[in-house]
Chains A and B, each alone.
Chain A
């Protein structure tokens, strides 16, 4: 282990702001992208399911009317 204490680790030899500013934003953006992609996929599935259901029921009513 190269660090003597947690404080030393977080201070990064006086460059804490720059080092953690870099790593922090990297984690934030990558994590954010994962969350957004997941949400977009779920919402797309839901809205397409909805559309398919409306199509189904529209077809059903046409069939009812024809019968």
Chain B
């Protein structure tokens, strides 16, 4: 066994991961704040007005990062679900529970900021278009995951059921992403693609990417923070949690 996989297995144990997450999250949260402030500064004070959409285009600086994160978090959950279902790792289920509320929040923000952008630009808060509808389904998938895992008391069975939903629901993510190409939609196509680069002005693009990075780091930080609560709950009868909870063992 290589030293590298040793490290992975060591942190797959909830006790070790509890410590690691506790050390990591403050740094990740700090980075998220730095990039968020930087991105907002460029987005709100440096980037020029858009010649077509006026100042309303600035919604892009929250709308696109939130939408990306809503999809990325679901894919991350599907990834942990595969690990959990194949290797029976205990941490995977907890990881998914830690991620789901943040994913749901980003999916909601995507819809909310989209509505506030759609109204002045399209004249409608909402249209039943492929992009919007598939994002709404993603939001419901998150809520479904949270409801399902909360309704099953046995942690192992609950993790398994949640994992299956995360896995099956992941099919919706490419549908969201490619919806603007597969169907005629009111929603505009991608402004940034891997193959064609960007169609945006440099400063606008920078602000958007910085905000996306900030949201990504935020999601990592809050998931690392939340998984510690979940680990304590799950492992409450173990000796290490008892030791951890002693008044002198702070944090």
Contact = CB atoms under 8 A, between A and B. Distances in A.
Interface of A: 1-3, 9, 12-15, 17-19, 21-23, 25-26, 29-30, 33-34, 37-38, 40-41, 44-45, 48-49, 51-52
Contacts, number: 85
B233 A2 contact: no
Contact of A14 (B45, B54, B101, B218): B54
B46 interface: yes
A13 B245 contact: no
Given A26-B113, A48-B241, A19 B58 contact: yes
Nearest to A19: B58
A44 B228 CA distance: 10
Chain B interface SS verdict (over half): helix
Contacts of A45: 232, 245
Interface of B: 44-49, 54-56, 58-59, 62-63, 66, 101-102, 105, 108-109, 112-113, 116-117, 119-120, 218, 222, 225-226, 228-229, 232-233, 236, 241-242, 245, 247
A37 B21 CA distance: 14
A15 B56 CA distance: 6
Contacts of B62: 22-23, 26
Contacts of B245: 45, 48-49, 52
A51 B229 CA distance: 16
A18 B112 contact: no
B105 A15 contact: no
Chain A interface SS verdict (over half): helix
A44 B222 contact: no
A40 B229 contact: yes
Given A25-B112, A29-B108, 19 more contacts: A2-B45, A12-B56, A14-B55, A15-B54, A15-B56, A19-B55, A22-B59, A22-B112, A26-B62, A29-B105, A33-B101, A37-B222, A37-B226, A41-B225, A41-B228, A44-B233, A45-B232, A45-B245, A48-B233
